Structures are given as structure tokens and as C-alpha cells.
Structure 1
Amino acid sequence: MAFHTFVVLLCQVAVFLSLCAVGEGRYSIFRRFKEAQDTKQGSLFEEQWFTQKLDHFNGADTRVWKQRYFINEAFYRPGGPVFLMIGGEGPANPAWMEDGTWLTYAEKLGALCLMLEHRFYGKSHPTVDLSTDNLRFLSSRQALADLAHFRTMIAEARGLTDRKWVVFGGSYPGSLAAWFRLKYPHLVHASVATSAPVYATVNFPEYLEVVWRSLASENTECPLLVKKASDDLVERLKDPRTYENITKDFNLCSKLQIQTDMDSAYFLETLAGNFMNVVQYNEDNRGFEGLTGTNITIKVLCSVMTDSSLGDPYARYAAVARLMMEATSMKCLDTSFSKYVSDMTNTSWDGPAPEAGRQWVYQTCAEFGFYQSTDSPNQPFAGFPLVYFLKQCTNFYNISAEQVAEAVTQSNEYYGAYDIRSSRIVFPNGSIDPWHALGVTQDISADLPAIFIKGTSHCANMYPARSDDPAQLTLARDHIFLLLQQWLKQ
């Protein structure tokens, strides 16, 4: 989409995604995205609906529901391939039907373009609510079965059964793109699996290690100053007399209240999320989706953190938080863990939780983990260890830490983790993107190539090209196109 950068940024920064989320930081990959818009104003592409089974793995269950999709026939030439963009942990944004690198490929190759929204996200509601009992129908396996049935029935209805289907996805949908080709090779001819975390892991402190390295690539002092600020803040939280000043410094919506370790962890993760979000999406071209705050880059953050005129590192850390709020038109920062719990346990589709928050966190608890903890010494933050995330699984869904670990093991057993045995899947990843730590960054085989793009961020190759794109990003897009040309001849 994530990566846990998802929910905190979900709640905090009004920048977010529709296809590259993964929530993959509280994000998504896969929690934190507050997406901008479910639809692009003035979109030329109307939403359409497809009938799906609720449970693909229980023949006795005949319940069905309506899944949203979009179609672009502008580039299709008879005999051309079919491109299927996979939706992820957020609303499917029709902006992708009007722009994006995949459409450049489609125009050159004469492809019909489809985008299918993921069950339980956006307007694709399989159940009456988001109760934990209903969320058992939310899984990557059910999503892949949705894709398979959609592909089969649309092909039959439109006379496309003999066409070659190519799937695209970024972040968690990137993983789905790889797994769709892996599990349904008779339906999928080739896959472009961008920024795909194919290895599930309960604890993912490597995410923040990449954040450190990415900040250091701009200025070696930058992550050191972030660490000093974070450590200073942790010390201040030990004294309730500092809470009033902290409330003012970070422009909090209500006076800071720290009564439990979960309260402090949520507060600290929210502030760290400013850096996690910017690093993950540094200098990408998400603006076409209608997102705000995309002008804040690693360079901007580090310029603030190294500006001694702003005061000590703690003061600069607070200045970053205020800058992010201004960039995303936020009046104040809500860091109340009790409110977060209330929002996340509301099971209504119209509940107050940020878009897709409850759903994505459930998937992390039930399938992937991906918890971006501070359990490594080689990263700049403190105060949100693995136990903080695991307690949420228990509190929100009654899923124990042991069950999370077992679910992660099962996911790796089912999909193969890094040991992918397939063909015609390309794995683009950016070196700045923290999610590359769980992705394929070296060729598995000649038919399973990796494209590691130096200096680029999450899903960078998917966004519309710009004249000032780094040369390596342009070459990566060209490389993917050449692979598609080659594979479509096979």
C-alpha cells in the first residue's frame, strides 16, 4: 500500500496511498496512511462492480458481495495483453487509471488496463461490519482468490481468455503480484512486484535501521541529532512536570497524559513517524494522487535537524513535527493512545478510525507482523519496542503474541519467503525505501530478476516520470519495459 508506519501516520499525517501503502511503517506495509482521496475529482473512469464469493475456500458458503474495480480501454489493441493493477490496504484510487508508469507501458504494448480494489478496503465491503469474526475473511489468500476469480470471469466475459495477463502492484500489492504469479501461474503470465516485502517477520527493526542510513545519506550528522532528540524526549517523559511544555512544543491537541508504557510508546512512535513517512516516500511523485505534504523530503528534515539556530536537537525535533503539521494542514497533533484504542476497536464501516487502520493492523497480526520496533541499537529512535505492537494484537483482536508468531511462520511456509520458485516476476526496490530490507534485491534467477534502484524510495518506479528523475530510476523503468516486451513474446 503498508508497511507499522501505517497507523500512526494514518492518524497523524494526511499523506497516504492507494496502491503503495504497506503499511508497509505504521503504515501500512503496511498502517499509517491517511489517504488523501478515495477518488480523484473529475476522474474519467467510473467505478464498476464485480460479484465475489465471501469465502473462496468453503464451497458450502454461498454468500457473495460486490467488489469495486476500474477499467481503461484507451490503449487496448486487439490481441494485446491485459494489465491488472492490484489494490492494497487502502481505497483504489482512479488517478492510477489516468497516470502512472504502467499506463506508459500499456500504450506502447496495446494493453487493456484493469484495477481491482482489495477486499475490506475502500468501498469493497464483504461484510456488514469490521468485527473480528468478520475480519477472518480478510487475508492475502482470500485476496488472491478474488484476483483469480476476477481474472477468470472478466476474461470469459470480454473474450480475453487467450490474452496474456500481466499483474502490477507496489508494497503489499507488490507481494500479491508476486504471489499471484506464484500460486496461479495458469492465470498470470508475468508480474511486476514493486517494493514487495516477501518475507514476513514479527519483529522488523531493520526498517528503522534503513531510516538511519537514508538520513545519513543526506547528512551524516542528521540521524545522530534525531537520536539525541529522541533520547532527550524519552528522559523528559519520565517527569510529569514536563508534560505541559511538551504539549506546547509539539502542538498537541490535548495535554499530554502518560499513564502507561503504551501511552508513551504511542506518543514516541507518532513523532518518529514524521521521519519514517518522509524517508519511505522521499522525493516520489505521489502528488498526482491528490496527496499533500509530498514536498517534505529527507533533505528538508535534515536541514531542520542541523539548524542550530532553532535550538537544541529536541527543539529541532519539535520543529519537524510542526513543519509536518503545517504541510498537511493539521491544526494539532493527536497523540492520545486511549483515543487510538477507541477508534481502532470501533467495528463500524463508518467508524472514526483512519481509513483502513483496523483492517491493516489485523492483517499484520494475522499474517505478516512487520512491526517496526526500536529493538535495534542501530537506529535513531526509542520507546516503542515489539511488545507495544503485540499488545495491540491482543487488545484489538484477541490474537496472542504466540499466535502472531505462528501466523508469520505459516505465511512464509505458504509463499516461500525469499525462496520463490517461479518465473517472469521482476522485483524493483529502492535503496532509500526501508521496505527493501524484506524484499528481493538480488536476482533469484534470470527469470526472477531484481532491480535495485539507488537513491529512490517506496514504489518510485510506479509513479509518473518527471524530467528531473534520477538516471537510475529512468533506466529501471526502461529495464522493466524491456522485460515485459521479452516475456510477452514467450
Structure 2
Amino acid sequence: MKSIDVLLAVLANGWVVSAVLWKDSISRNTTDILRKRYRDEKTQKFSTVFNSRKPSLTSNPASKPFYITLPLDHFTTSNTDTFQSRYYVQDSYYQPGGPVIFHDIGESSIERYAPGLVDEEEFTVSMAKRFNGLLILFEHRFYGESAPLTEVSRALGDASKEGLTAFFKYLTIEQALEDVVVFANNFTYDFQSYPSQKLTPEYTPWVYVGVSYSGARGAWLAKRNPGLFKATLASSAPVELKVDFWEYFVAIEANLAASGNTNCSADLAAAAAWLSQAWETQNETLVDKLIDTVYQADWENYISQFRNQDDPRIWDTRRDYMQDAAWTAFADFQYYGVQGGTLGKFCDIMETAYSDNAPAEGLFATESLDRAVAGYTKAVAAINPYSYSRSARNKAKLKQKRQSSKLDSSLDDYAWLWQVCSEFGAFQVANTSRPQNMLPSFINVAAQIDQCIGTFGESDQVSLAGPNVSPINQKYLGWNIELSNTLWTNGEFDPWRALSIDSTTEDAPTNDTSTTEIPQCGTTFPRGTQLRYVIVDGYHGSEFSEDVVENADDIGLNPTNTIGGISASRRVTLTSTGTGTPVADARNAQSLWFNAMSTWLPCGTQVFTFTSPQPSSSTPFKTRSSYSTDGPSTDGSTTEGLTTDGSTTSNPSRQSSSPSENKTQSAASLVLPPLMNLFMLSLFAFLTGVGFIL
């Protein structure tokens, strides 16, 4: 059994990372924004692929990354450590006097986005073309190639918990926001066709564009450093941070109802209840059939190594497989919804498991439990190999083979997990007090915190108290933030809308006003009024997912040209292109943004003055009380925690848990990656499974 114990130790440590990572990578939002969903009608198989590019430019910005040296710690003068931050530049459309369009990618490597810089129908490229701008793709610290090159960052899987914590200590929201300020204040660029241009915000208008986490970053920067950007697009921006984010599933419930899939919604809730009960009673009869059907060799090879098939450790692995299965149906919902993504196909397969006429009440209400579970299993098995979660894991494995950086290929995953565990939160978990709940009870805040501690250990930044969302909410006011020269957009069915200023949750503010009337230069909104647009039938960053059609709306550069309330006569009608369900109203959000840029860019009322950051602690908090472990809170109530000064503050409730070398501004040289270590090989072999098709 010694070899089994070693294998279990490897898998246990690895799964602590992966079980959160694959799910939280779904919440990483921007990773999939530039991709399209294609469906093979003959095979009924899905794959996630890049949109086909239509390059009309001869130069390829993706072949020439740039780097700037930034302080590792902006707020401690005695710390002189630095790192190299990567970015790409598209200068084909620039003319003197044009703006700098800063596209903040956020929590992902920017390498996958760089090829889109030559596609004139991409939203940000269209901005540069229309406004004669210089387009920048910026990489967040500790993602892609923008991180210190250390022994830890070369082999994250081999690092100790203390080593990981020491490495990621400076990955904080405030440090990352200051990166943007320093970058903008020091930005220079050598043009081939023009003499030297003054491109810092004092001389050239900067425009910020971000989606999701990077959209929230844009809002926080507008609040933190007024005037740095003359215009900000905060798309699908979750500015109200919280730990227990069960509300993620409310949008899924609404979209299922709107698309006539209430039977599927009922079955997903019933399946979650069954998985919960199976875990609590450790009844493996139907669970093992599910796991064996879906994961096949993964499961069979793992279970065969146990002499005692009743070994309690097997249930920890069953739980991980059950969690993966439970998430399969929702894997890409936030980008494509029910009809355009895997959820709609999942529902079709499950509801027609025994008849072409799907039962109105659902399988679990009309079939025996074993037959209902079999129908559910059939859908999981059909969708899982092509789901976002499995796709992301397989792509991570392949990335290791082709990576040009010496940094560990799993850096993005570890970095986002660190941010989620320390400051961002937003655990998408079950809320078993709701009959509509669609996740099993063991996917809860307590389990997520356990996984955070299991990966990074306990420290000032990752603790049993959970992610410390209070400092950012208090500084930037969360839902109550008010900004000028900012357009807020959200999709009607975007799960992250619940954390945006367009939230409709019960605890969201109701005394604010939405308008599509763009304030003219020198004027401001009345208190409580902001420029906001909810995209009808839209999802996460829908205005970025749809190509921009030239002359779809008569948009000029006249500062007085607004589209007001966007009357029906000005709405754009789309026809299906075979790439999923088009979101027609996304074009109107694009139009509103172009008109806002037309109005705000010539406006000189906000002047940005750079000031050096003030010394402060680089850690977001010191000590807080841990989440209660003496019983679940299933009614959405809050529990008390300690802030940095010892006062009490409300925290979301949790449910109890069950058993480099220096680079200059030039093209980077290619460096062969190190071999994947044994730990990552074992982990990926365990996770990937068989039968995956790219």
C-alpha cells in the first residue's frame, strides 16, 4: 500500500489546486471572450476554437511583444525588486492626436489574444480604426510572462505552501492597479512613420477597455486615479466582491425558464439533491455507475490500485469526480447561455433519454431514480469531454509542450486561484435552502476555503476567514460606486451581473438610475445616475463576442452625436452565422460605446496628474476570525468577521464541509520550456481522461 499512499498524496495535493481551478477558471471570464462556439450538426460534438480571423493588415503585432520594468512592490520604498510586464501594440491605425486604447486582458495570458489584433471586426481593433488610435494589450502581473522568474515560478507544482505564498505575496489588486498607473505615466513608443509622440495621459487621451475582472479594474482605476482615462468601458464588471456567490445560478435559472427548459431546471436541481444525498450517505451504487460511465479509464485505473475497495479515501476522489460532473452542464453558460452553449445540448440529451417527447415535469419526477440518474449520466458523458472545464485542462497540458517562457505553464491557474482565495472571492457554490439549487451540497464555501488552505497554507493573505473582500468594497464602494466618463454594460443573462451595478439581487441598491443619454463635455450626471446598458439576451461580455459591422449604425466623431434611448428604429437585426446564437442587442452596446468615445475624447475637463504611490502595507489584511464550522447557514444570512482594525463586519455565510533575465522593449526570444515534472504529469493524466477531441 505504500505506492498507493504516494499516489494518493500526489493526487490529493494536485486536486486541491485543480478542483477549484477548473471551476474558477470558468469564472475567469475573459479567457473565452474572443472565442466562438462551433457546432458540428452531424456528430453533435462541440469544440471551443478561436474565431476565424480575417486579417487585412500586413504587419503582425503578435510577433513582437514588448516589456516594461515595473516595481514588484509599489508601496514599500525599501523593496527594489522588479519584474517584466508584457504587452502588445497595434499601431497600424494610429495618427498623431489619436487616443491610446488600453485593453486590459486581466486574469489571463495575453498571448492568445494577440492574433486578434489584425482582425478589423474585433471590437477593440474597430475602436482603434475608427478613432485613429494606438491599441495596447496589457498583461496583468503574475500572468502569462509577466512575473518574476524564480525557482518557485519555474516549477509551481514542486513548491511548498510557504514558497507559493512568498511568491504570490505581491499579487494584490492594489499592486496590479498601480502597475497600470505607472505603465501609462511612463509609456513611450517608436513609430516608423511619425516622429516621437507624447503619449502619456497628460498629453494624449487614454481609453480603458475591460471585461469582467478587468472591467472592475477599469472602474476601480477611474475611482482611484480620476482623469487617467478619458473614457472607460466597464463590461460585465463585478465591482461588489463577496465570498459566497450562490447567486451565480440565478441567471442560469432565469435563462432556462425563458427558453422553455423548466423540466431541465427541475432535473438539474433533483440531480444535485441526489448527489448531495449520495455523498452524505456514502452510497456508491449509482455514483460509481456515473463515474465509470463518464470517466472510464481514469476511474478504473485509480480504483484498481486499492486492495480494500472500502477504503474511505476513495470517497474523497468520488467527491471530486461528482463535482466535475455536476459542473459539466454549466461549463460555458456565462458566454453562450442555454441555446448557444453546452447547457442546451445537455438538456436535450437528458430530457430525451427515453423518449423524443421530453416529459414536462422532468425525468426525476416521471422515472425511477436509477433511470433518471442514467439519463443524467448520459448527458454528462456526452458533454463532459467537450466542456469548457475539460477543454481548459487539456489545453493547459498541451500548453506545457509549446510554451516559450521559462515560467511554469500553470502560472495563470495558480495566480487566479491566489486572487480568488485572498481578495476576490466569488465562490460559485450551492445554496441548499433554495428548491432551485443546482449544485450538490459539498460544493460550498467551507470546501473552497479548505482547498485554498490546502494549496497555499495559512497566512495573512489566505486564511480560514476566507477571501478578504472588505478592503476593496470599502475603498471603491462596491455597488455604490459612481463614475463619470464610464459606460457600464451587462448581459441580461450574465451570471456576473449579480455583482455588477446592474444587479437585481435583493441586497443590491435600488436608488440608482440608468440612462443611455451621454453627458456632454463639461456636464455631469445627477447624483445616482450613470451611463448603463443591459444587453437584451446578452451574456458575459457579449459586445466583445460579436463582430463589429461597419456602418451598422451611422456613428461619426461629432461630440454631439448620441443615440439617446436607442429607439427601435436604430436597433440592429442579426442573422445567424452558424457560430451559436447571435446577440443582436450587443451591436447597440457597441454603438453606445462608440458614441461615448466620440463625446468624451475631445473633452478636456478631467486632467490627470501623476503622483507617486504612498508607502503602505503590501498585504491586504492581517488577522480575521475564521468562518464558523459549527453548522451550515443555508438561508443566505451573514456571519460576523473581524476587520483589520478589530471591528466587526458582515461576511457571507458558509456551509459546513463534508468528509528572468532583463527584457527590453523588443521582441522576446524563444526559450524551450523545462520538462513537466512528475507531479504535473500525474495530475494531468488523472484529470484529462480519454476521448477528448480538440
TM-score range, shorter chain: 0.7 to 0.9
The 5-angstrom pairing of residues 73-92 of structure 1 reads 73-92=91-110
1:394 aligns with 2:394: no
Out of 428-437 and 118-127, give the one that drifted further: 118-127
Contact 1:14/1:35, CA 8 A, preserved across alignment? no
Contact 1:16/1:36, CA 8 A, preserved across alignment? no
1:147 aligns with 2:186: no
Question: Which residue pairs with 1:315 in the alignment?
Answer: 374
Contact 2:61/2:89, CA 8 A, preserved across alignment? no
Contact 1:373/1:386, CA 8 A, preserved across alignment? yes
The 5-angstrom pairing of residues 226-375 of structure 1 reads 226-237=268-279, 238-252=282-296, 253-255=298-300, 259=313, 263=317, 265-282=319-336, 296-309=341-354, 312-327=371-386, 349-350=407-408, 354=410, 356-375=412-431
Contact 1:13/1:324, CA 8 A, preserved across alignment? no
* 1:393-428 per-position Cα deviation (integer Å, ceiling 9, x unaligned): 2222234655435x2111211221112133111111
In 2, distance between residues paired with 1:73 and 1:156? 10
In 2, distance between residues paired with 1:141 and 1:21? 25
Percent identical pairs in the alignment equals 23
SS at match of 1:176: helix
Unaligned ranges ≥5, structure 2 = 1-16, 34-46, 154-163, 191-196, 304-311, 356-362, 364-370, 394-405, 503-511, 516-524, 549-573, 576-581, 604-694
Q: CA deviation at 1:220?
A: 1.7
How many residues are treated as equivalent by the alignment?
447
Change (3 A) 1:372 1:235: same
In 2, distance between residues paired with 1:195 and 1:121? 21
Question: Which residue pairs with 1:61 in the alignment?
Answer: 79
Alignment partner of 1:50 out of 68, 86, 94: 68
Change (3 A) 1:332 1:189: closer
In 2, distance between residues paired with 1:272 and 1:19? 23
Change (3 A) 1:36 1:90: farther
Q: CA deviation at 1:87?
A: 2.1
Contact 1:211/1:379, CA 8 A, preserved across alignment? no
Out of 51-60 and 244-253, give the one that drifted further: 244-253
1:97 aligns with 2:97: no
Out of 259-268 and 227-236, give the one that drifted further: 259-268
Unaligned ranges ≥5, structure 1 = 1-5, 23-33, 285-293, 335-347
Question: Which residue pairs with 1:194 in the alignment?
Answer: 235
Q: CA deviation at 1:364?
A: 1.3
Q: CA deviation at 1:212?
A: 2.0
Change (3 A) 1:102 1:417: same
Change (3 A) 1:272 1:329: closer
Q: CA deviation at 1:206?
A: 0.3
Contact 2:91/2:135, CA 8 A, preserved across alignment? yes
Q: Which amino acid aligns with 1:392?
A: Q
1:489 aligns with 2:602: yes
Q: CA deviation at 1:44?
A: 4.3
In 1, distance between residues paired with 2:234 and 2:391? 37
Question: Which residue pairs with 1:381 in the alignment?
Answer: 439
Contact 2:222/2:483, CA 8 A, preserved across alignment? yes
In 2, distance between residues paired with 1:18 and 1:97? 19
Q: CA deviation at 1:18?
A: 8.1
* 1:60-112 per-position Cα deviation (integer Å, ceiling 9, x unaligned): 11111111100001111211111001122111121342342122122111111
Question: Which residue pairs with 1:19 in the alignment?
Answer: 30
* 1:200-231 per-position Cα deviation (integer Å, ceiling 9, x unaligned): 10111101222222222221212111122232
Q: Which amino acid aligns with 1:460?
A: S
* 1:344-380 per-position Cα deviation (integer Å, ceiling 9, x unaligned): xxxx9437xx562221111112112101110251322
Q: CA deviation at 1:271?
A: 2.0
Q: CA deviation at 1:118?
A: 0.7
Contact 1:81/1:163, CA 8 A, preserved across alignment? yes
1:204 aligns with 2:245: yes
Question: Which residue pairs with 2:544 in the alignment?
Answer: 462
In 2, distance between residues paired with 1:413 and 1:14? 26
Change (3 A) 1:246 1:322: closer
Out of 300-309 and 66-75, give the one that drifted further: 300-309
Computing the radius of gyration from Cα coordinates, the structure with the larger value is: 2
Contact 2:332/2:388, CA 8 A, preserved across alignment? no
Contact 1:48/1:69, CA 8 A, preserved across alignment? yes
Q: CA deviation at 1:282?
A: 0.7
Change (3 A) 1:244 1:47: same
In 2, distance between residues paired with 1:271 and 1:458? 23
* TM-score, with structure 2 as normaliser: 0.58
SS at match of 1:282: helix
Out of 363-372 and 456-465, give the one that drifted further: 456-465
Out of 118-127 and 92-101, give the one that drifted further: 92-101
1:110 aligns with 2:111: no
Q: Which amino acid aligns with 2:292?
A: K
Alignment partner of 1:413 out of 474, 482, 487: 474
SS at match of 1:277: coil
Contact 1:205/1:372, CA 8 A, preserved across alignment? yes
In 1, distance between residues paired with 2:354 and 2:543? 37
SS at match of 1:429: strand
Question: Which residue pairs with 2:466 in the alignment?
Answer: 404
Q: CA deviation at 1:330?
A: 9.8
